[in-house]
Amino acid sequence: MPLDSYGQHINNNRTQVWNLGTSVLEVLKKGMESLNRAVVSDRLLEDSFAEARRRTPILVGMLSISAASALMITAALGFIYWRTGNPLYLIGTLIASITMLGYAGTLWYFKRSMAWLPASHLYALTTTFSTVAPCMITGGLFSSPYLPLVLIVPAFLFLIAGRRWGTCWSIIVALCVGAMYFMEWQGFTFPQAIPADMMAQFRFMAWLMTLMLLVLGLVSYEVNFENLTERISAERSQFAHDAMHDPLTGLSNRKLFYQRAREAVEYALHHDHKAALIFIDLNDFKKVNDSFGHEVGDEVLNEIAHRLRANMRSMDTVSRLGGDEFAVVMHGINHTEATNVMLEKLSIAIRKPLAMRDTILNISGSFGVAIAPDEGIRVEDLLHIADQGMYEAKQLRKDSQLEAG
């Protein structure tokens, strides 16, 4: 095979292995998510920062995997006992049955109580029994092929219950192993249920089982960590958005308004353009709240916000500063006439009749404008100028109404 073709063949194999591994992880991820939704309460799953939220998916995954494994081992040992009649296989079947019931019972207990830490201890107790007891009927500490499975308890308890309880259960397992060592040192001989000619196969299976359980546990941890990271990232993004936006209308709030206004002024100074700050106050909005209630008032504010946003350029910013006060930042305008055109558009948009719950409302607004850098470059000064202009417009409206009356 030519060297280039061989290299391409190797790359294709790597790609296939990578795609297979990715597919397997995706299936495991979806399986774990479905399992967690079925077992873990929504209240617990929604609290991203709680310790129980970080550890329970691993506990649920390991309980499910361990219960399924114990069920298969129970069936296999029961079949061997039926074929051989060896009482040690009956004992093994009983150990596997007790183990299966322990895992299934712990899963049921956790689903009923959502008590994460007690369930972790029940898992540790069941796993310690299921790893130490088989060693006692397969030759003890020095001969049993199942000894590597003892590592499961400390490894998983650190992931499931944390450093403190992981350390405690590691000590308990070490004491169990030490007890077996002491018994053999005193001359006690543990029974051996495994024929000598099958010892190599059993050792291989025990090591393979240990490896598979560790891998599945770590994959479960990785999947949970990845899901949790994505959730926290989404929540942080939502927190950042909420910190910069008005909760009622979704418009920029005062903090983001000041930030965008400073950016617009900086851009105007460096590129020989202008920026405009427009202050808007709805006229007689208090009467709407007093006559129709705050719920209708909120609907009016949302509709006005929608109209303002629909009439602005994509580069501009519409903000709700509070109450019935809105503000607009016009970014990168070439001349002040553009501001006058925008004021006319916004005024027409606000004055369109509002149909609210079988009632037609006629809303209008008073406007004030400040142009940067013509009238200043500090956002606070510009906003003050726009605010003063808005109050002058509001006063002119009141004077006109008095004269008309």
Mean pLDDT over 103-122 rounds to 86
3-state SS class at 146: coil
Assess whether pLDDT exceeds 50 at residue 3.
Answer: no
Return the SS3 of 364: coil
The mean-pLDDT minimum among 20-24, 123-127, 208-212, 263-267 falls in 20-24
In a domain? residue 306: yes
Same domain, 157 and 112: yes
100, 71: one domain = yes
SS3 147: helix
Which candidate, 82, 98, 92, places its Cα nearest to that of 202? Answer: 92
What does the alpha-carbon distance between residue 117 and residue 59 come to, in Å, rounded to a whole number? 10
**CB-CB neighbours of 234 under 10 Å:** 11
HSE-CB at 221 with a 13 A cutoff on CA atoms is 14
**Omega of the bond leading into 154 within 30 degrees of 0 (cis):** no
List the catalytic residue out of 246, 281, 316, 324. 324
Shared domain check, 272 and 226: no
The residue type found at 121 is H
Q: What pLDDT is stored for residue 30 in this prediction?
A: 61
Give one DSSP letter per residue of 166-201, joined into a string.
HHHHHHHHHHHHHHHHHHHHTT----B-S-GGGHHH
> Which residues on neighbouring strands pair with residue 320, listed in sequence order?
326
Print burial letters for 312-322: b (CB count within 10 Å at least 16), e (below 16).
beeebbbbbbe
The sign one gets for the Cα dihedral 73, 74, 75, 79 is positive
Number of domains in the chain: 2
CATH of the domain at 288: 3.30.70.270
Beta carbons within 8 Å of 145's beta carbon, 6+ residues apart: 138, 194, 199, 202, 203, 205, 206, 207
The mean predicted confidence, pLDDT, of the chain is: 81
Who has greater pLDDT, 174 or 223?
174
Same domain for 224 and 271, yes or no, is: no
Q: Which of 165, 163, 135, 167 is nearest to 150 (CA)?
A: 135
Residue 102 lies in a domain: yes
Residues 141 and 280 in one domain: no
Per-residue pLDDT band for 263 (boundaries 50, 70, 90) equals very high
Q: Is residue 248 one of the residues assigned to a domain? A: no
Cβ(106)–Cβ(126) below 8 Å: yes
How many Cα neighbours within 13 Å face the side chain of 165? 18
The answer to whether residue 55 is domain-embedded is: yes
374 is catalytic: no
Of the residues 185, 218, 240, which one is the last residue of a structural domain?
Answer: 240
Cα 124 from Cα 158, distance rounded (Å): 11
Neighbour tally for 270: CB within 10 Å: 8
166 and 196 inside one domain: yes
DSSP states of 269-307: HHHT-EEEEEEEEETTHHHHHHHH-HHHHHHHHHHHHHH
Same domain for 169 and 225?
A: yes
Indicate whether 266 and 152 sit together in one domain: no
Q: Which of 209, 240, 271 is the last residue of a domain?
A: 240
Q: Cα 401 from chain centroid?
A: 56
Residue 267 and residue 376 in one domain: yes
In order, the DSSP letters of 303-327 are HHHHHHHHTS-TTSEEEEEETTEEE
Q: Are residues 280 and 176 in the same domain?
A: no
Domain annotation covers residue 249: no
- Quick one: pLDDT at residue 319? 94
Among 175, 209, 240, the domain-final residue is 240
**CA–CA gap between residue 303 and residue 142 (Å, rounded):** 79
Is 294 among the domain residues? yes
Cα–Cα distance measured from residue 125 to residue 119, given in angstroms and rounded to the nearest whole number: 10
In this structure, what are the phi and psi dihedrals at residue 192, rounded to the nearest 5 degrees? -120, 110
Q: How sure is the predictor about 261, in pLDDT bands with cuts at 50, 70 and 90?
A: very high
pTM: 0.55
**Assigned domain for 246 exists:** no
Please report the pLDDT score of residue 153 as a whole number: 79
Do 151 and 294 sit in the same domain of this protein? no
285 and 313 both lie in a single domain: yes
- Domain with 85 in it: 3-240
Inside any domain, residue 81: yes
**CA separation for the pair 126, 120 (Å, rounded):** 10
**Residue-wise pLDDT tens digits, 330-383:** 998 888 888 889 999 999 999 998 887 778 888 889 999 999 998 989 999 999
Mean pLDDT of 210-217: 75
CB 253 within 8 A of CB 298: no
